[in-house]
Amino acid sequence: MDAIRQCCAGLDVHQATIVACLLKGPLDHKPTKQIREFPTVLSGLLSLADWLEQEGCSDVAMESTGVFWKPVFNILQDSCSLTVANAAHVKNIKGRKTDVKDAEWLAQLHRCDLIRSSFVPPQEIRNLRDLTRYRKKLKGNESSERNRIHKLLEDANIKLSSFVSDLFGVSGRLMLQAIIDGEVLEPEIIADLAKGKLRAKLPELTSALNGRVTKHHRQMISHSMKHLVFLESSIAELEAEMNIVFAPHCQHLQHLQTVPGLGPHTAKILLAELGTDMSVFPSAAHLTSWARLSPGSNESAGKKKVLPPQKVTPHSALPSLKPLGPLVKLEPI
C-alpha cells in the first residue's frame, strides 16, 4: 500500500476511553508510531486535541461507534480534518483484536487513503433531525398509549371502538371520562355524551357500553388518559418549536410537498434527514437508493432472497445533498 500522508492518526473510540495511534514519517519509509490513551471527558478530549496539534497532525480517522464518536467530532472538527468511517468498511482481520491494534489499523488505512469518508451533516441539519426523530418517538408513545386503552376496554367488555370511528374524539373522550368517573351510563346520559352523527347510534352505544368495568380498569384507563394528554401536549409544543426552526427552509418544504403523497410533516422529515446540499449524489438514482426508496437485490443461483430490514442510518453515514431542484425526482430506477 502506497502512503500519501506523512502524518495522520487513527482513533479507536469507546464510551470511557480513546486509544489514539499516530503515524509520522516520510512516505517512502516506515513511519514512527505513537500510542496514547485519553479519557472521553472534556478535559481528555482537549488533551487529545492539544497532543495532535503539538505533533502537527491534522488528518484523523475514526469509526462511527454508536454515539460515542460525536463528542470527539465536536471537539476536533475545528482543528483537524476528520474522516468518520463506517465500521463495516474498515474491519480488520479477525484474531488478536485489541484497542491498540484497531487504532493502528485505522491509522495505516488512513495513511494510504483507503478509508471512504462518511458525510456528517452540518450542525443545523443535525438539530433539525433531533427534533423530527423526537417527534416520531413521541408519536409512537402516543399510539402505544391509545392501543393500551383499547385493550383495557376490551378486557372490560366495552365494545365502544366497534361503533365509534375515533375513540379519542370529542364524544369518545367524554364517554371514557364517564367510565373513569364510574358513572352509570344510562341511555339518557349517553345521549348527552354522543355528539353529531353518533346520536343516531344510541342503541348500539348503550349496548357497547354495557360491560364489566372494575375499579382496576378505571384506574388503568385514568393513568393512560393522563399520560396520553401529556404526550399530546408535548407533541403540540414540539411541533410549534419545529415550525419556528424550519421557517428558514419554507421554500424547500413547499418544493418537497409538490411530490404526491408528501405532507408537511413528511417534508420536514425528508429535509432533516437529507439536508439541503445534494452535491454528493451524482444522480437522482443515487439519492433514491440511499433513501431506501428503491428495492435492493439479493439473487443467487436463480433464487431471490428477501433482504433483512436495515437499521436507521446514523449521522456519520449521511452523505451531503445539493439544494432541492430538478435533480430530486423520486422515480423508480
pLDDT tens, 176-228?
A: 999 999 888 888 888 888 888 888 888 888 888 888 999 999 999 999 999 99
pLDDT for 18: 95
Cell 443515487 belongs to residue: 286
pLDDT for 106: 93
Considering only residues 318 and 286, tell me which one the structure prediction assigns the higher pLDDT: 286
Domains of the chain by start residue, with CATH: 7-111 (3.30.420.10), 124-245 (1.10.287), 264-317 (no CATH)
Average pLDDT score, the chain: 86
Q: What is the distance, to the nearest Å, from the Cα of residue 123 to the centroid of all Cα atoms in its chain?
A: 15
Give the least confident one: 4-18, 250-264, 315-329: 315-329
Report d(CA 102, CA 213) in Å as an integer.
61
Sign of the Cα pseudo-torsion (70, 73, 69, 46, in order) = negative
pLDDT for 200: 85
Q: Buried (b) or exposed (e) across 145-170, using 16+ Cβ within 10 A?
A: bbebbbebbeebebbbeebbeebbee
pTM above 0.85, yes or no: no
141 φ/ψ angles, rounded to the nearest 5 degrees? -65, -35
Beta-bridged to residue 18, according to DSSP, are 13, 38
238-290 pLDDT, tens digit each: 999 999 999 999 999 999 999 899 899 999 998 998 888 888 777 888 777 76
The answer to whether the beta carbons of residues 83 and 13 sit under 8 Å apart is: no
Closest to 249 (Cα-Cα) out of 262, 261, 267: 267
Considering only residues 166 and 141, tell me which one the structure prediction assigns the higher pLDDT: 141
Amino acid found at 238: L
Query: Does pLDDT of 38 surpass 90?
Result: yes
pLDDT for 329: 38
Q: Using a pLDDT cut of 90, give the percent of the chain over it.
A: 54
11 φ/ψ angles, rounded to the nearest 5 degrees? -115, 125
Cell 495513511 belongs to residue: 111
Query: Does pLDDT of 304 surpass 70?
Result: yes
The answer to whether the beta carbons of residues 281 and 322 sit under 8 Å apart is: yes
**pLDDT-derived band at 163, boundaries 50, 70, 90:** confident
Q: Which residues have C-beta within 8 Å of that of residue 284, sequence separation ≥ 6?
A: 327, 328, 329, 330, 331, 333
60 φ/ψ angles, rounded to the nearest 5 degrees? -130, 140
Most confident of 82-86, 132-136, 159-163, 305-309: 132-136
pLDDT for 133: 95
Report d(CA 314, CA 311) in Å as an integer.
9
The answer to whether the beta carbons of residues 11 and 61 sit under 8 Å apart is: yes
pLDDT for 291: 74
DSSP letter, residue 29: S
Report d(CA 162, CA 60) in Å as an integer.
61
74-89 pLDDT, tens digit each: 999 989 999 998 887 8
Give the least confident one: 134-143, 266-275, 311-320: 311-320
pLDDT for 303: 81
Mean pLDDT on 298-323: 56
Considering only residues 138 and 281, tell me which one the structure prediction assigns the higher pLDDT: 138
Mean pLDDT on 143-169: 92
